[in-house]
Amino acid sequence: MTRLNPKYIPLLATALVLLAVFSTGSLLYPNFGTPRVIVNLLNDSAFVGVAAVGESFVILSGGIDLSVGSMVAFVGILVAKLLQVGWDPFLAMGIALCVGTAAGVVMGGLIHYFELPPFLVTLAGLFCLRGLGFVIYPESIGIDHPFYGQVLPQLSILVAPKAVLPFTAMCFLGSVIVGTFVASFTRFGRNVYAIGSNENSARLMGLPIGRTKITAYALAAFFSALGGIVATFYMQSGNPASFAGLELDAIAAVVIGGTLLTGGVGFIPGTLMGVLILGLIQQIIIFNGTLNSWWTKIVIGALLLVFIVLQKLISGGGDQES
C-alpha cells in the first residue's frame, strides 16, 4: 500500500492529536516531557490498554462489549483470592484467564445463537461478573506472594535514567503487538473486519460467522482477563469494587484510536494511541493540580465528539445503519 489510503486518515489524526496533547503537556509543565512520564503513562494505562485491545476486536466485528471493567475487577479478585489461599500464581492466572475467556464464549454464544443484541448481553455480563467478584470476596485483598513482591519488580527494563519500563507496560505493548498481528495477519482477524463491515456479505462469502463472532468476544474477554491480571501486577491487590466504568474508557480509547464504532474499519495501534491520549489528558490535569477531575470527563467527551464527527466526515456521511 503505497499511496495514502483514506482509511489511514483517522489513524493519522489520532497520531497528530497524541503528538499535540503530548507537546502541550511538555510545553506547559516541567518534568512532563521526560521518559519517566512516558513510562508512567504506559504503566498506568496498561490494564485499560490490554482491555482496549480486546474491545477493539469486538468493535471491529460490529459489536460492543460492556463487560470489560467488571471482568478486570473479577479476575483481579479471583487471582488475589486464589493466591491468598495458597495457589501457585501461574496456576491462578491460568485459571483466571480460562474462566474469563469462558465467560466471553458464553456471551458470544448468546449473541450469535439467539441473536440477542450485544449491548444487552454484555450488559448482563457486566452485572454478573461484578456480582461474582463480590461473591468471591467482598473486599480488597492484598497480594503478598513473593512472585509479586520480588520477581515482578525485577522483570523490568531500565529504558532511560529514572525511567524503568515495568512488566505491566511490557504486557500492554505485548498485547498491542499480538493484537495487531491477530488483526492483520490471521484469517480470523480479517474475518472480523469482514463481518464488521458487512455481516451479510461475509456470510455469503462463506466466512465462518458464528465462530468468528464468538471468538471475537472470547478474545475480548481473554484480553480483559489479562488486563485483570495486569491490574493485579499494578496494584498488588484485587478489589471487586474497582474499575467501574473502565469499559467506557476502553470504548472511548478505541473510538479515539480511529476505529469505526459500526465496525469493519480500524487498527489496533490506533487503540494504543487512543489509550495514551486518554492517559495524557489525565496526566495533564494531575500536573496542573488545580483543575478538577471532572475536566477529565469533559475533555474526553469533547475529544470523543471530535473524533466521531471526523469519522463521519471521512465515511462520507453515507453508510448509516438502517
Partner 1 sequence: MANGLGCVRARNQHLQPQNMKIAPSYRTIVALLAFPTLCTLTQLLALAADTAQKKLVVGFSQVGAESGWRTANTESIKSEAQKRGIDLRFSDAQQKQENQIKAIRSFIAQGVDVIAFSPVVETGFEPVLQEAKKAGIPVVLSDRAVKVSDPSLYVTFLGSDFVEEGRRAANAVAKLTGGKANIAELVGTVGSAPAIDRKKGFEEVLSKYPDMKIIMSQSGDFTRAKGKEVMEAFLKAPNAKEINVLFAHNDDMALGAIQAMEEAGIKPGQDIKIVSIDGVRGAFEAMKDGKLNVTVECNPLLGPQLFDLIEKVANKEEVPKRVVSQEGVYDQAQAAAELPKRQY
Partner 2 sequence: MIDWVSDLLFWIVFGSILFLLRGQRIFWSVGALGLLLLFNQFFTPGFFHIQILDGHLYGSRIDVLNQGAKVMLLSLGMVLVIATGGVDLSVGAVMAIAAAVSSRLLVTEHQSAGAAIAAALVISTLAGAWNGVLVAGFGIQPIVATLVLMVAGRGVAQLITEGQIINFLDPTMVYLGNGHLFALPFTLTLVLVTLGLAFFLVRRTALGLFIESVGDNDEASRYSGINAKQVKFLVYTFSGFCAGLAGLVACSNIKSADANNIGLYLELDAILAVVVGGTSLQGGRFYLIGAVVGGLFIQTLTTTLYARNVSSDISPVPKALAIIAVCLFQSESFRTRLSHVVRPFGRILKPLGSRPPQKSITATHDSPKP
Partner 3 sequence: MANSLLEIAGLTKGFPGVKALDAVDFAIQRGEIHALMGENGAGKSTLIKVLTGVFPRDAGETRLEDKIIAPRSPREAEGLGISTVYQEVNLIPHLSVAENICLGRQPTWLGAIRWRAIAKRAAAALARLDLSLDVNRQLSSYSIAIQQLIAIARALDISAKLLILDEPTSSLDRTEVEELFKKLRKLRESGLGIIFITHFLDQVYEISDLITVLRNGRRVGCFATQELPRIKLVSHMIGKAVHQVEALEQKRASTASIRSEAPMLEAHGLGRKGSLRPLDLDIRPGEVVGLAGLLGSGRTETAKLLFGVDRPDQGTVRINRQAVRFNSPRAAIRYGIALTPEDRKVAGIIPNLTVRENIVLALQASRGSWQRLSVTEQAKLADRFIQALAIKTPSREQTVRNLSGGNQQKVLLGRWLATEPKLFILDEPTRGIDVGAKAEVEKLIQSLRQDGLAVLFISSELEEVVRQSQRVVVLRDRRKVVELTEGEISEETIMQSIATHNLERPAA
Interface mask (CB under 8 A) for partner 2, residues 39-78, using x and -? -------------------------x--------------
Contact in structure between 81 and 139 (CB atoms under 8 Å): no
Interaction between residue 102 and partner 2 (CB under 8 A): no
How many residues contact partner 1, by CB under 8 A? 70
Residue 64 touches which of partner 3, partner 1, partner 2, none (Cβ within 5-8 Å per kind): partner 2
In this chain, which of 1, 4, 27, 85 binds partner 3, going by CB under 8 A? Answer: 1
HEC string of the chain equals: CCCCCHHHHHHHHHHHHHHHHHHHHHHHCCCCCCHHHHHHHHHHCHHHHHHHHHHHHHHHCCCCCCCHHHHHHHHHHHHHHHHHCCCCHHHHHHHHHHHHHHHHHHHHHHHHHCCCCHHHHHHHHHHHHHHHHHHHCCCCEECCCHHHHHHHHHCCEEEECCEEECHHHHHHHHHHHHHHHHHHHCHHHHHHHHHHHCHHHHHHCCCCHHHHHHHHHHHHHHHHHHHHHHHHHHHCEECCCCCCCHHHHHHHHHHHCCCCCCCCCCCHHHHHHHHHHHHHHHHHHHHHCCCCCHHHHHHHHHHHHHHHHHHHHHCCCCCCCC
Interaction between residue 291 and partner 2 (CB under 8 A): no
In this chain, which of 239, 260, 276, 278 binds partner 1, going by CB under 8 A? Answer: 239
**Residues 37 to 56: which contact partner 1 by CB under 8 A?**
37, 40, 43-44, 47
Interaction between residue 186 and partner 3 (CB under 8 A): yes
Interaction between residue 280 and partner 2 (CB under 8 A): no
Residue 199 or 247: the one with the smaller Cβ distance to partner 3 is 199
In this chain, which of 39, 72, 78, 126 binds partner 2, going by CB under 8 A? Answer: 126
Smallest gap from Cβ 218 to partner 1, in A, equals 25
Interface mask (CB under 8 A) for partner 1, residues 133-152, using x and -? -x---xxxxx-x----x---
Interaction between residue 27 and partner 3 (CB under 8 A): no
Smallest gap from Cβ 285 to partner 1, in A, equals 8
Contact in structure between 70 and 270 (CB atoms under 8 Å): no
> Which of these segments, 10-18, 89-97, 107-115, 221-229, binds partner 1 (CB under 8 A)?
10-18
Interaction between residue 5 and partner 3 (CB under 8 A): yes
Residues that bind partner 3 (CB under 8 A): 1-2, 5-7, 181, 184-187, 190-191, 193-194, 197-198, 200-208, 264-265, 322
